[in-house]
Amino acid sequence: MATISFNIQDFFSLIDKELDMEELDHKLAMLGVPIEGIVDDTIEVEVSPNRPDLLSVEGIARAFRGFIGQETGNKKYKLERSGVKINVDLSVKEIRPFIACSIVKDVAFNDEFIASIMQIQEKLHATIGRKRVKAAIGVYDYDTIEAPIFFKALEPNMIEFEPLSDGNTQYGWMSAREILLRHPKGKDYAQTLENFEKFPLLVDSKSLVLALIPIINSDDTRVEEGTKNIFIDVTGTDLKTVMQVNNILSSVFAERGAKLESVEIIYPDDVIISSPSFETRSMDLEVSYANKLLGLALDAEDCAELLKKMRFGAIVKNNSSITAQIPSYRTDIMHSIDLVEEIAIAYGYDMFDISIPRVPTTGKELDLEKNGRYLRQLLLGFGFTEVINFIISNPRKQYEKMNCEENDFPLIENPNSSDYTSVRTWLLPLIMENLFENRMDAYPQKLFEIGDISLLDESSDVGSVTIRRCGGVIADVNTHFAHIKGIILELFSNLGIPITLESFEHNSFISGRAARILVNNAPVGYFGEIHPEVIVQNELEIPITAFEFNVEEI
Amino acid sequence: MKISDLHPQEEQLLRILHKKGEKIAPENISDMELIAVERTAYWLSEKDLATIEEQITTFIRLTSEGKTIANEGFVEEKILSVLDSKKTMSQIITEANISNKDFNIGLGWMKRRQWVTINKEEGQLALELTQKGEEAKNIELPEKRLLKKLLSQELTKKECDENIISVLRKRNLVLEEEHKSRLISISDKGKNLVESSGASIERINLLTPEIIKDGTWKNKTFRAYDVHSPVPKMLPAKGHPLRLIIDKIRHIFLEMGFSEMRGPMVEMSFWNFDALFQPQDHPAREMADTFYMEAPSMAKLPEKLVQPVKSAHENGTTGSSGWGYKWSEEVAKKLLLRTHTTAVSARMLSQIKPPAKIFSVDRAFRNEAIDYKHLMEFHQVEGIVVDPSVTFKDLLGLLKEFYYKLGFEKVRFRPAYFPYTEMSVEPEIWFEPKQSWFELGGSGMFRPEVTKPLGIECPVLAWGLGLERLAMLVLQDNDIRDLYKNNLKWIQNKGGIY
């Protein structure tokens, strides 16, 4: 989830209204942009991933003005044609086929505006830009560039320019390879190009390099506080995303009063796309569909008004349906149900009368849980205290410390810590660890856990089965086989399940002092005296008896 | 206060002190054991019925040298015993059987006591007895007398002559030892209590089987206990606090007519993501967020559902544009540790017919580093309501009811985003002690792109709420790791859940 921060006063001037903090907090939450934190005049809000148009204070202000009824409907931005052409060379097709551009004139930067432009680029890259792979942005001083502009890919050794300086660090002329090795941005994003023989580049008609894409701009085209005219490019692997990002960024400039001009993108197959393009999409909505889902009784007029508050265009077709005009930046609208949600948000989640579903059903507890509940009651009666352990464990804990051979077990491909690499296949190792955690506490200690384990099983659709187990230990100077056997016999007798026992060899238990529990001749578990080797491995010094059995089969 | 409110030992001691009337050392009370006297005296003093005074007594003790001298006598006495009128040094040493060094010490003290005069005789030292010396032969030295006395009895400094003690101390024959002791006496309040209470009545302290059987209880009264007095801490064998919360939640849903569901922890991407319309390039599917399995490695997809899910992603279902990318079966087959129990809801949707109300409280896993706020596995409170009649209002009402039953009266609903729900809602509860809203998970109505491929044609209310954060609020704990540490003290001391 992305967060963005902005100055409160700047926000108030953009919405042309001042609110008290409590109201602002509530309204932003109800718009779906909840406040995460406030420090002095800086406010931090959370933006959900389907709304990249809200990754700037200008975008939030645009939505907010609609939400409070200050300015509704689809915002129309004035767009003039610049006549500038962007030629896309065939060489980028396999690398980064799409580009969208805008020219922005008469930009008047101030501190908040600059901060916002920096922030939205960073956030767009991190979110829908998928770390610059799907979409990457470049912003240049338009007055340093001479159109037409070419988007092409060259072999790295053909590329040499001075990358954007970084604070006080000037880099001087560098080759593309040097940039990837030495420039901080080059190092950060080198992997986006690592599989390609040629690197994409944006150059102007005089062969001035604008940028090595998607890595770094040239220092010659750098934007400074006094820059008046701007050129924007967005390149990437997905046309829809590239155009959306360009629209979102361009509209931020327009919201600050700059003039937008479009360019023509000429693709190698001679397809020409005008960019940016704020064309809306149309989608019809049946009013009854909205009412059925929301439990409201809105008419077509209401629906249209509510959509306009969400900055959609809306036309009432007839009593029962409307046509929504979806702003170009709202690519998340896929189905009329998305329009219904917009209506619900505009209506206000806090304004709904609530009701309880009238769906008569009889509840049913899982048999497994019922058994577990009774077992828990019996074990508590025997004086056992319940523990709950992590399901993710590691082979050392699960097998080595228990004096056992490693068998096949569910193993994580990408663990983030050597302590948590596999799924537990039994409970006792973890309960032994609980004894270690409590070694300073008084004995006797009796612990049990009822929880899930997972075993590999090729016959299952997921190659494994999740099994509910019950395990327990007694750590006491006086505990021994007869002690734990007595408990097991009572547990199963109370559960009403006849069991038989047979002697059992298991490396975690003392040889000749463990038994297998059989129900209808099928093994369901075991118990016995834990082997001193295992006790020592777990850094304990007290006799331990233990049991573990399946709750599943009983 | 009545005397019958006192513990029998308190009454006993109070009466002893009253009879004695003056300060007394605990060890001098013979009717009770010393430990009992000390403990009871403390209780009485806490109630202002008795006073305890500390007193320091100095005892005189013999050193080991002192003990020898007490038995054998001073060296000057030994010399005196062999001396008549006049003898040389060598004669004396031989006859008294002493060392040169002892002779010198003895000589010094004999001179100081004026028992002898010293002359030279044939080039060597000779001692001549004086009148005083002659007399001393018949009298025991007072120093010796004291030393002998100390052999057989304990004396305090006060009981001894100060001059003699100082001499003996100088000769390193005795030392002083300080002893702290207590003296107890009855206070005025105690006196009044005893005097106003009359004679002592025998009261029953512990009720025993004998007392019940022989009927003596009929003629006696029971001692009243102080209900405020501290007792030893009792520790129960106990269910884990998290389990108690889980069961409380399960109970709420069962009470509302929900059936419980269960699914595998090792799950296929298909049910965890694809069936929930989460595009295959969605950030949540990245390695950084999800634990994928090395073993087992591949799933068997539910054949009948592959095509409907694939086309929902690629082209959308009726009325939807879909995500517009090429959906891959291989990606859907990847096995993982389910990142949410909504995977189980998706499985259920493919099996059931409405009306249905289903829930679970079960584990989910995320690739997160563990710290005081984050865990890599946690529980989710999952549920779905499937019926043609359900609306968004019902979802809000149901969630509100759930939190109300859990004890949270103030709930608000915020718009949110999840790829599989529309409307999407994040319920928040108001937590009074912290004066803030707490977001506890996600909920919404499943998108048609989710439900239609699974064969469900009606609205589905759904939620997947966090349990651990809620548990932290209920248990008033600040470190989420405590929930899985299984520290016995923590488990035993966490209460207030039911």
d(CA B444, CA A103): 41
From chain A, the residues in CB contact with B297 under 8 A are: 463
From chain A, the residues in CB contact with B387 under 8 A are: 357, 359
Q: Which pLDDT does position B32 carry in this prediction?
A: 87
Q: Which pLDDT does position B224 carry in this prediction?
A: 79
**Lowest model confidence (mean pLDDT) among A192-196, A408-412, A537-541:** A192-196
Of A395-399, B140-144, B214-218, which one has max mean pLDDT? Answer: A395-399
DSSP 3-state of A46: strand
Q: Which residues contact B366 (CB under 8 A, 6 or more apart)?
A: B289, B290, B291, B339, B376, B377, B378
Contact (CB<8Å) B415/A355: no
**Lowest model confidence (mean pLDDT) among B12-21, B87-96, B245-254, B305-314:** B87-96
| CA-angle at B316, arms to B314 and B321, nearest 5° | 100
Q: Which pLDDT does position A463 carry in this prediction?
A: 96
A82 touches chain B (CB under 8 A): no
Reported confidence tier of residue A90, pLDDT bands at 50, 70, 90: very high
- Runs of H (alpha helix) within B179-294: 188-197, 209-214, 241-255, 269-272
Mean pLDDT of B304-322: 92
Q: Which pLDDT does position B99 carry in this prediction?
A: 85
Q: What mean pLDDT value characterizes chain B?
A: 90
Above 90 in pLDDT, residue B115? no
d(CA A254, CA A261): 10
Two tokens at A73? 């409907």
Q: How far is CA A55 from the centre of its chain?
A: 16
Using CB atoms, which residue from B265, B387, B447 is nearest to A391?
Answer: B265
Q: What mean pLDDT value characterizes chain A?
A: 94
Residue whose entry in the numeric block shows the structure tokens 């018949």: B138
Contact (CB<8Å) A462/B397: no
Reported confidence tier of residue A86, pLDDT bands at 50, 70, 90: very high
Burial of B162 (0-12, 13-18, 19+ CB in 10 A): exposed
Largest separation between any pair of C-alpha atoms in chain B: 144
Query: What is the value of pTM for the model shown?
Result: 0.79
Q: Which residues contact A126 (CB under 8 A, 6 or more apart)?
A: A2
Above 80 in pLDDT, residue A1? no
Above 90 in pLDDT, residue B458? yes
Q: Are strands A500-503 and A209-212 parallel, antiparallel or unpaired?
A: unpaired
Q: Which pLDDT does position A277 carry in this prediction?
A: 94
Q: Return the bridge partners of B408, or none.
A: none
Burial of A93 (0-12, 13-18, 19+ CB in 10 A): middle
Reported confidence tier of residue B298, pLDDT bands at 50, 70, 90: confident
A541: phi then psi, degrees, rounded to nearest 5: -135, 35
Q: Which pLDDT does position B498 carry in this prediction?
A: 62
Nearest-CA distance B446 → chain A (Å): 10
d(CA B112, CA B90): 21
Q: Which pLDDT does position B69 carry in this prediction?
A: 85
Two tokens at A39? 């420090």
Mean pLDDT of B158-172: 86
From chain B, the residues in CB contact with A338 under 8 A are: 422
Contact (CB<8Å) B259/A345: no
Q: Which pLDDT does position B155 carry in this prediction?
A: 86
Q: How far is CA A51 from the centre of its chain?
A: 14
A252: phi then psi, degrees, rounded to nearest 5: -60, -45
From the list A277, A281, A278, the residue with the least C-alpha distance to A336 is: A281
Nearest-CA distance A223 → chain B (Å): 31
User: In the A/B pair of chains, how many CB contacts fall below 8 A?
Assistant: 271
d(CA A59, CA A252): 7
Tens-place pLDDT, residues A483-542: 999 999 999 999 999 999 999 999 999 999 999 999 999 999 999 999 999 999 999 999
Q: Do B164 and B146 form a contact (C-beta atoms < 8 A)?
A: yes
Tens-place pLDDT, residues B52-66: 988 888 888 888 888
Using CB atoms, which residue from A50, A344, A445 is nearest to B392?
Answer: A344
Q: Is B90 left (phi over 0), alpha (psi -120 to 50) or beta?
A: alpha
d(CA A403, CA A401): 5
Q: Do A276 and A260 form a contact (C-beta atoms < 8 A)?
A: yes
Tens-place pLDDT, residues A428-486: 999 999 999 999 999 999 999 999 999 999 999 999 999 999 999 999 999 999 999 99
DSSP state of A522: E
Contact (CB<8Å) B449/A334: yes
Q: Do A113 and A256 form a contact (C-beta atoms < 8 A)?
A: yes
Reported confidence tier of residue A17, pLDDT bands at 50, 70, 90: very high
Q: Are strands B421-431 and B436-439 parallel, antiparallel or unpaired?
A: antiparallel
Cα Rg, chain A, nearest whole Å:
33
Above 70 in pLDDT, residue B431? yes
Q: Which residues contact A343 (CB under 8 A, 6 or more apart)?
A: A290, A294, A298, A303, A306, A307, A310
Reported confidence tier of residue B496, pLDDT bands at 50, 70, 90: low
Mean pLDDT of A172-195: 89
Residues 225-244 of A with CB under 8 A from B: 240
Mean pLDDT of A136-148: 95
Mean pLDDT of A73-102: 95
Q: Return the bridge partners of B342, or none.
A: none
Q: Are strands A385-386 and A445-456 parallel, antiparallel or unpaired?
A: parallel
Tens-place pLDDT, residues B337-378: 999 999 999 999 999 999 999 999 999 999 999 999 899 999
Q: Which pLDDT does position A260 carry in this prediction?
A: 97
Using CB atoms, which residue from A48, A360, A466 is nearest to B416?
Answer: A48
Mean pLDDT of B145-157: 86
CA-nearest residue to B362 within chain A is: A452
Bond into B355 cis (ω within 30): yes
Selected residue of B240, B303, B363, B411 to mutate for chain A interface (largest A Cβ count, 10 A): B240
Mean pLDDT of B84-112: 84
d(CA A227, CA A203): 20
From chain B, the residues in CB contact with A298 under 8 A are: none
Selected residue of A337, A394, A447 to mutate for chain B interface (largest B Cβ count, 10 A): A337
Two tokens at A519? 């129900």
**Lowest model confidence (mean pLDDT) among A138-152, A342-356, B232-246:** B232-246
B444: phi then psi, degrees, rounded to nearest 5: 165, -165
Print the SS3 string covering B66-109.
HHHHHHHCCHHHHHHHHCCCEEEHHHHHHHHCCCHHHHHHHHHH
Contact (CB<8Å) A335/B413: no
Reported confidence tier of residue B205, pLDDT bands at 50, 70, 90: confident
Reported confidence tier of residue B78, pLDDT bands at 50, 70, 90: confident
Tens-place pLDDT, residues B389-430: 999 999 999 999 999 999 999 999 999 999 999 999 999 999
pLDDT > 70: percent of chain B = 99
